[in-house]
Amino acid sequence: MKWFVLQLCLVLIWVPQNFCMDKNETSEEKMIYSTSVMSMVKLLEMEESLKTNLDIYVQEMQSKLDLIKLYRESLKRESLTTLEEKEEYVSNPLNAFPLLRRLNQDWPKWLRYIKLGIVSKKTKEMEVQLKSAPIDDDLKVALKGMTRIEKFHNLHAEDLTKGVLMGKKLNSHLTAPDCVALADYYYNQTQFSGSTHWYRMALRLHTHPHDMIYAKVLGLKRKRIYKKYAKALLKESLTLDKTKPTPTEKSEWNRLAKEVSREDNYDNVKKLIDEYLSGDEKIFQEVAARQKRKPTKLERGCRGEWPRKSSPELICRYNRDTSAFLNLAPLKLEFLSVQPMILLYHDVLYENEFKSMRDIAMYNDSMIDGWTYVDFDKKGNPKQQDRVVKIISFQGTTAPFTLSINRRLADMSGLEMRENMVLYLTNYGLGGHFGKHVDYVELAKRPQDFFADFGGDRIATALFYASDVPLGGTTVFTKLKIAVKPKKGNALIWFNLNHAGEPDPLTEHSVCPVVLGSRWIISKWIHERQQVFKKPCLA
């Protein structure tokens, strides 16, 4: 048989050599140690080697555990048990943004790091939980909200990293990865002067011991930030010149930006940046202040820079006129404008009404994304601009809060509500705002059968402020220079159409970015068709 196999191997030369050898000849013989003391010495040496490797493994696992503990320590916060405590925590953008960014960027990397060599039931549970983590689009919305807060209120990156928000010191801060995410966002939007401040903050915060976490787990090495910062500085200097660069100039700057990223240039780049960073941060802030554009009218309104209007017509009084019921229970009314009519009622929303609506929205998870609208298409439908809020509509006529709020609104406005009882509950998100817009449809853009299909135009708008907002969230009428801060229980009513039923462009309004707090409002649009008997001239 052996002779046959050898002959076959000679004929089939492509057959692997080990197939041609006798099985007994090819298999390595296992050593028998117990038959000799000298052989047993080898076993001792073998175990010593295994012990050494085990010690190294224990050290590696301890280093890994120390790193995980360090990250766990960085996530410590006070115990939050009630819904109000949790809402207050995430209504601070310096808590909300890092939370969302960590779940989108850091936690998936941590899970991969933890699973290296260890797969347990808990890691599988974490994997399932992270399937519901914020997606990249969600992070983009949060980044946009943070940069909106920064721009609208002329805030400094250094203050934000230290937890200082519009002069208010908060128990929160930003980390190096947070700063890099903001810097990358500005850079990708070609807003290089915005990115350089955040890359600079990232380098200042990329320090021991957390630099080990950033480099080993998150892949954020200090060298990488140096290169990004150098490129941003180069491109910033290009855009500081107000004249548009020629294609040749643009190409040259892009070439230089690539040069600073080269590995053989790193030491020189690092040395230059370290010298640059040795300067006082206040110097950087002063230079940035000189380069910033003048604030827009809207930004000035959001910063509280408009003077308060005074006029004999703008008075505060108790309203007893717009319904018979108000003769018995008058409401506190403040006139903010006469033409167009803008009214502010005080203490007209009950806490239990708001909580009933909020509980339905929260526990049914029925709130949907809301958008800002800046224009209408040819069919009269609003065009969406930016996702900024969560919103839910309450359309029934049986819920006690729907009936009571609509009834009170009819008393306050003197208008009819019965044909349209819908109310909208809205909650603004991180840096949530509403761009300049009007609530009516311009005459030229009204579709056919506008009155029949849409109930006519929105004769009036009502906003009930259901929460206090410590910073931001102001309703501003940009053309009138009127700013109304959200105060829990107050209601703002304005008339979008004049007495002839024509749209009034002076009602253009906006909502400033929410800086700190949770902005809850209950809103309603009141249409023309309902008012055929109340306002016969408009019919």
In order of their start, the domains of the chain are 64-72+87-291 (1.25.40.10), 306-374+383-526 (2.60.120.620)
Digit-coded pLDDT (tens) for 425-439? 999 999 999 989 899
Q: Tell me, what's the pLDDT at 420? A: 83
Q: Return the ∠ at Cα 378 (arms to 375 and 379), rounded to 5°.
A: 100
Task: Produce one character per residue of 442-462: b if its CB has 16 or more CB atoms within 10 Å, e if not.
Answer: eeeebeeebeeebbbbbbbbb
Q: Tell me, what's the pLDDT at 18? A: 46
DSSP for 482-532, written as a single string: EEE---TT-EEEEESB-TTS-B-GGG-EEEPPEEES--EEEEEEEESGGGT
Average pLDDT, the chain: 84
Q: Tell me, what's the pLDDT at 151? A: 93
User: pLDDT tier at 13 (50, 70, 90 boundaries)?
Assistant: very low
Name the token pair of 421: 């009882």
Looking at the chain, the whole-number percentage of residues with pLDDT higher than 90 is 53
Q: Tell me, what's the pLDDT at 8? A: 31
pLDDT, mean of residues 48-72 = 93
Digit-coded pLDDT (tens) for 220-265? 999 999 999 999 988 888 777 656 677 877 787 778 777 777 888 8
Q: Where are the alpha helices (DSSP H) in 12-156?
A: 17-20, 23-26, 37-74, 83-90, 93-101, 107-115, 121-129, 136-152
Q: Return d(Cα 212, Cα 280) in angstroms, integer.
A: 26
The segment with the largest mean pLDDT, out of 358-362, 442-446, 532-536, is: 358-362
pLDDT, mean of residues 438-456 = 63
pLDDT, mean of residues 179-205 = 95
* 385: pLDDT strictly greater than 80: no
Task: Return the half-sphere exposure (C-beta side, CA atoms, 13 A cut-off) of residue 381.
Answer: 3
Residue with the larger pLDDT of the pair 144 and 18 = 144
* 96: pLDDT strictly greater than 90: yes
The segment with the largest mean pLDDT, out of 190-194, 436-440, 466-470, 496-500, is: 466-470
User: pLDDT tier at 21 (50, 70, 90 boundaries)?
Assistant: very low
* 351: pLDDT strictly greater than 80: yes
* 7: pLDDT strictly greater than 50: no
The segment with the largest mean pLDDT, out of 10-24, 83-97, 288-302, is: 83-97
Residue the block writes with tokens 């300049």: 436
pLDDT, mean of residues 357-367 = 77
Q: Return d(Cα 299, Cα 510) in angstroms, integer.
A: 11
Q: Tell me, what's the pLDDT at 164? A: 94
Residue with the larger pLDDT of the pair 344 and 309 = 344
Residue with the larger pLDDT of the pair 116 and 182 = 182
* 378: pLDDT strictly greater than 90: no
Q: Tell me, what's the pLDDT at 386? A: 61
| C-alpha distances in Å from residue 438, one per residue of 270, 330, 374, 387, 441 | 52, 30, 8, 18, 8
The DSSP output letter for 377 is -
**Lowest-confidence pick of 350-364, 371-385, 478-492:** 371-385
Q: Tell me, what's the pLDDT at 370? A: 58
pLDDT, mean of residues 491-514 = 92
Q: Tell me, what's the pLDDT at 527? A: 87
55 three-class SS: helix
Picking from 141, 68, 131, the residue whose alpha carbon sits closest to that of residue 101 is: 141
* 15: pLDDT strictly greater than 50: no
Task: Produce one character per residue of 162-180: b if its CB has 16 or more CB atoms within 10 Å, e if not.
Answer: bbbbeeeeeebebbbbbbb
Q: Tell me, what's the pLDDT at 238? A: 75
Q: Tell me, what's the pLDDT at 10? A: 37
* 9: pLDDT strictly greater than 50: no
Q: Tell me, what's the pLDDT at 209? A: 86
DSSP for 101-136, written as a single string: HIIIIIHHHHHHHHHTT---HHHHHHHHHGGGSPPH
User: pLDDT tier at 324 (50, 70, 90 boundaries)?
Assistant: confident
Strand partners for 165 = 168
| C-alpha distances in Å from residue 156, one per residue of 248, 276, 307 | 34, 19, 25
* 384: pLDDT strictly greater than 70: no
User: pLDDT tier at 19 (50, 70, 90 boundaries)?
Assistant: very low
The segment with the largest mean pLDDT, out of 18-32, 101-115, 205-219, 449-463, is: 101-115
